[in-house]
Structures are given as structure tokens and as C-alpha cells.
Amino acid sequence: MGAAEASGSETYNPWTVVNLVFTHLAREGLHPVLGEAGDPGPPARALLLALGIEPDAEGNREVRRDVRAQLAQIRAVMLDEQ
């Protein structure tokens, strides 16, 4: 269990937030660039931190929970078929 899950705080996929910000800026007629064609990870992290969001490499807690449930279903099916 991650720190965010243990504390009960809300987590977000960092790229979802970055996409939201960039979409908004583009609609306003701006042309944002992240990472100057290099690795966008560090500038994206800086953007999220500036917005008061702690990036979580694990992403959204609900998505993670859904993936675990789906994997459990697959394991159950595979074990029953053997």
C-alpha cells in the first residue's frame, strides 16, 4: 500500500493533470512546451508541485484498484482452467 493510500489522500495520474493544464493553455491560444523536446518528466513534476500536487508514480488510486481486481479475476480464471 502506498503512502497516499495509507493516509487516505486523493491521488491523480500526473500526466492527466499535465494534460489538463496544457489543454487549457492551448485553448487560451498559448503554445506550451514541456521539457524542450527532452525528457518531460522533471518539468511535469515541477509543474505539478507548483500547483500543490504531489506526483505519485503509481497514478490514480481507483485505477490501481481496478487493475488489481482485473488481475485477480484473470488469475482465478487461469487457475480454474488448469
pTM: 0.43
pLDDT at res. 69: 92
pLDDT at res. 28: 85
pLDDT at res. 11: 65
Burial class (CB in 10 A: 0-12, 13-18, 19+), 6: exposed
pLDDT tens digits, residue range 45-78?
Answer: 788 788 887 776 666 677 778 888 999 999 988 8
Q: Which residue from 64, 73, 66, 71 is spatially nearest to 2, judged by alpha carbons?
A: 64
